[in-house]
């Protein structure tokens, strides 16, 4: 640990010398108002240096009630990450004049309030991980510009994002209370017999970039018979539509908002920031979205409730294939989600095969059992289903039928019939990693996020359209968790155990972890979705 004066002296001694001399500032420096931890200095002017800023809580001065519980701490860290990102764009977005460095970077948060690796709040300090580009001139150390980066740019960002006094108190507490209220509603769903809740007045349609609600969108509303009111810890009770556990069909005319409603329910697995429009659209945390994925692989997946005597899957309890058909892919996804503890399956006829949702005309000998015929039995087994469908036969098999018209939802009365099918939960699988090739180029182990729902493992790209990734930081966490899972997948642990342990490992608080700042919370079931779609994945079932 060194002082600010030592840092200034080290920089001045390196002035005009080769860029490598910057390595001398790899240290912890104590200033009057914060600590600067330089964890790793870039090798040349094209790289990025890893740094942390730590402000003692006695100076940051955030009241204890802003971080006293896990959800409040997560919300506060999320808000600090947003403010730090905004300040970095304002004060350190471009190079310092006459140099090729000076930028400060932190991953941009999306609309979800997530646990993020970039910010940590403890009772002792507030810490932010970021990268900074050390400035140079003609490849040489520029001491004056680096002092401007640290003592002007970074110090300004710290003062405007990491101190309680920099925030408008009402806005800070509103952010925290919004998350706390949403989490309270989520925890209340099972006791109310609900799998999802949509507050009256929510704005569900999104802009194309998904970073804000659509302008002039009609707020959500429903009939009085569907309304429930939930007491929340902060403010007035919240009234909205509760979707009961069991099998629910959403129907209605074209372009009425059925798919938007289903998408919003899936997004409700996470809390959302104030102004998002979906602040109190809340679902059970392990909801899964299922769609057709023709050509995806399968390894020892128990799809016996849905397949019987199928030519494609003669052994339905252990489906094994390098590439399955579109209908079978959906049945596999349902079994995999339930295996990982999902209590809500969401499907949309626009992205599904008709034979998966309901039985067709003259298809009595079809070896597949449509999900609609199993819906009620699945609900009794603890797996609710939300299906967007205009098919009358599917609606007759449902526990609840909701009609969407003009962004308003009403309950429909239909003559119900019994599917006559019995659902059984799938067998657990135990993954083994020995077949997966993690090598890429000179890297023995490589996994990275190529897009919001694409993970590259070794040289193979895994597309996961059903994953609950709404922030690329989650995809990066999933990629790193794939590596963490490598040593865990020895056949002794279930898929659920492996993914829980790997997901927890990548969100640890190890300060020396270079990937920490780029990650955000990832659900174990979404990590499993990545592994399940890798063609070299090997799983076993125990007799």
Q: Any idea what DSSP says for residue 343? A: S
The confidence score (pLDDT) of residue 57 equals: 98
Separate counts of helices (H) and strands (E) for the chain: 14, 29
438 and 364 in a common domain: no
Q: Is residue 257 part of a domain?
A: no
The confidence score (pLDDT) of residue 301 equals: 96
Answer for the pair 365, 357: CB distance below 8 angstroms, yes or no: no
Q: Is residue 376 part of a domain?
A: yes
The confidence score (pLDDT) of residue 314 equals: 86
Answer for the pair 158, 150: CB distance below 8 angstroms, yes or no: no
- Domain-terminating residue out of 359, 377, 411: 411
Which of 162, 168, 198 lies closest to 182 in space, CA to CA?
198
365 has a pLDDT exceeding 70: no
d(CA 329, CA 345): 14
361 has a pLDDT exceeding 70: no
8 and 132 in a common domain: yes
Q: Is residue 435 part of a domain?
A: yes
Which of 247, 230, 221, 246 lies closest to 187 in space, CA to CA?
230
HEC readout, 260-300: HHHHHHHHCCCEECCCCCCCCEEECCCEEEECCCCCCCEEE
The confidence score (pLDDT) of residue 500 equals: 97
Question: In which element (H, E) is residue 528 found?
Answer: helix 524-532
152 and 12 in a common domain: yes
Answer for the pair 144, 87: CB distance below 8 angstroms, yes or no: no
Give me the mean pLDDT over the 329-333 stretch: 97
148 and 76 in a common domain: yes
Give me the mean pLDDT over the 373-379 stretch: 95
- Domain-terminating residue out of 167, 188, 222: 167
Q: Is residue 215 part of a domain?
A: no
For residue 535, how far is the Cα from the chain centroid? Answer: 23
The confidence score (pLDDT) of residue 429 equals: 97
Q: Is residue 179 part of a domain?
A: no
The confidence score (pLDDT) of residue 509 equals: 67
Contacts of 372 (CB under 8 A, 6+ apart): 247, 249, 357, 358, 359, 387, 389, 391, 393, 394, 397, 398, 419
Q: What is the mean pLDDT of the chain?
A: 95
The confidence score (pLDDT) of residue 514 equals: 83
145 and 10 in a common domain: yes
369 and 503 in a common domain: no
Q: Is residue 205 part of a domain?
A: no
The confidence score (pLDDT) of residue 313 equals: 84
346 has a pLDDT exceeding 90: yes
User: What are the Cα distances from residue 175, in Å, to 115, 170, 229?
Assistant: 14, 9, 21
d(CA 348, CA 331): 14
- Domain-terminating residue out of 104, 133, 167: 167
* Residue tagged 């039995």 (tokens): 377
Q: What percent of the chain has pLDDT over 90?
A: 90
pLDDT confidence of 407, banded at 50, 70, 90?
Answer: confident
Per-residue model confidence as pLDDT tens digits over 421-460: 899 999 999 999 888 999 999 999 999 999 999 999 999 9
Q: What percent of the chain has pLDDT over 70?
A: 99
Answer for the pair 226, 410: CB distance below 8 angstroms, yes or no: yes
44 and 83 in a common domain: yes
Per-residue model confidence as pLDDT tens digits over 26-36: 999 999 999 99
Q: Which tokens in the block code for residue 516?
A: 């920490």
d(CA 366, CA 364): 6
d(CA 185, CA 272): 13
Per-residue model confidence as pLDDT tens digits over 50-60: 999 999 999 99
The confidence score (pLDDT) of residue 77 equals: 98
Total number of domains in the chain: 3
Give me the mean pLDDT over the 274-286 stretch: 97
367 and 489 in a common domain: no
Supply the range of the domain harboring residue 382: 287-411
Give me the mean pLDDT over the 112-127 stretch: 97
The confidence score (pLDDT) of residue 211 equals: 86
| DSSP-assigned states of every residue in 42-87 | -SSTTS-EEEEEEEEHHHH---GGGTSSHHHHHHHHHHHHHHHHHH
Give me the mean pLDDT over the 91-117 stretch: 96
HEC readout, 181-243: HHHHHHHHCHHHCEEEEEECCCCCCECCCCCCECCCCCCCEECHHHEEEECCCCCCCEEEEEE
492 and 374 in a common domain: no
Question: Can you give the length of the chain in residues?
Answer: 543
Give me the mean pLDDT over the 306-313 stretch: 84
Q: Is residue 485 part of a domain?
A: yes
468 and 379 in a common domain: no
368 and 295 in a common domain: yes
Q: Is residue 136 part of a domain?
A: yes
416 has a pLDDT exceeding 90: no
Q: Helix, strand, or coil here: 156?
A: helix
117 and 13 in a common domain: yes
Per-residue model confidence as pLDDT tens digits over 133-172: 999 999 999 999 999 999 999 999 999 999 999 999 999 9
pTM: 0.95
Q: Which tokens in the block code for residue 251?
A: 């129907």
Which of 275, 274, 277, 271 lies closest to 200 in space, CA to CA?
277
């Amino acid at each position: 640990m060194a002082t600010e004066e030592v840092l200034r002296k080290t920089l001045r001694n390196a002035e005009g010398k080769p860029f490598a001399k910057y390595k001398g500032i790899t240290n912890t420096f104590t200033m009057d108002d914060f600590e600067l931890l330089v964890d790793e200095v870039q090798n040349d002017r094209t790289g990025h240096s890893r740094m942390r800023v730590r402000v003692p809580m006695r100076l940051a001065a955030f009241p204890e009630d802003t971080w006293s519980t896990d959800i409040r701490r997560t919300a506060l860290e999320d808000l600090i990450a947003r403010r730090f990102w905004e300040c970095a764009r304002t004060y350190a977005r471009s190079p310092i004049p006459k140099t090729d460095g000076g930028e400060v970077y932190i991953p941009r948060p999306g609309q979800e309030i997530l646990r993020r690796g970039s910010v940590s709040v403890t009772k002792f300090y507030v810490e932010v991980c970021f990268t900074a580009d050390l400035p140079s001139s003609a490849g040489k150390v520029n001491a004056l510009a680096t002092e401007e980066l640290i003592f002007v740019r970074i110090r300004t960002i710290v003062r405007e994002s990491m101190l309680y006094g920099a925030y408008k108190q009402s806005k800070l507490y509103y952010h925290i209370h919004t998350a706390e209220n949403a989490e309270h509603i989520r925890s209340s769903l099972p006791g109310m017999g609900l799998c999802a809740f949509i507050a009256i007045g929510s704005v569900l349609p999104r802009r194309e970039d998904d970073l804000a609600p659509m302008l002039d969108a009609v707020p959500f509303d429903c009939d009085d018979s569907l309304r429930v009111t939930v007491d929340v810890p902060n403010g007035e009770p919240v009234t909205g539509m509760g979707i009961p556990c069991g099998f629910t069909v959403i129907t209605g005319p074209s372009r009425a908002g059925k798919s938007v409603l289903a998408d919003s329910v899936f997004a409700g697995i996470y809390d959302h920031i104030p102004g998002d429009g979906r602040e109190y659209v809340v679902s059970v945390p392990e909801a899964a979205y299922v769609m057709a994925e023709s050509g995806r692989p399968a390894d020892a997946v128990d799809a016996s409730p849905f397949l019987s005597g199928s030519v494609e899957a003669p052994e339905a309890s252990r489906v094994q294939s390098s590439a399955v058909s579109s209908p079978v892919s959906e049945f596999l996804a349902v079994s995999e989600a339930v295996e990982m503890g999902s209590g809500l399956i969401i499907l949309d006829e626009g992205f599904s095969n008709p034979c998966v949702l309901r039985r067709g005309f003259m298809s009595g000998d079809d070896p597949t059992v449509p999900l609609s015929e199993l819906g009620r039995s699945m609900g009794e087994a603890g797996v609710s289903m939300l299906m967007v469908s205009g098919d009358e036969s599917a609606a007759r098999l449902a526990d609840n039928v909701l009609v969407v018209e003009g962004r308003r939802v009403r309950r429909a009365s239909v003559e119900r019939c019994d599917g006559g099918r019995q659902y059984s939960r799938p067998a657990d699988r135990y993954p083994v990693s020995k077949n997966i090739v993690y090598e890429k180029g000179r890297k023995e182990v490589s996994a990275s996020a190529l897009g919001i729902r694409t993970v590259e493992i070794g040289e193979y790209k895994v597309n996961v359209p059903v994953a609950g990734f709404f922030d690329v930081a989650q995809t990066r966490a999933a990629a790193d968790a794939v590596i963490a899972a490598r040593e865990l997948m020895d056949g002794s642990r279930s898929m659920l155990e492996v993914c829980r342990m790997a997901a927890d490992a990548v969100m640890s608080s190890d300060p020396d972890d270079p990937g920490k700042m780029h990650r955000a919370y990832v659900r174990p079931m979404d990590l499993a979705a990545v592994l399940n779609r890798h063609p070299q994945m090997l799983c076993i079932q125990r007799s």
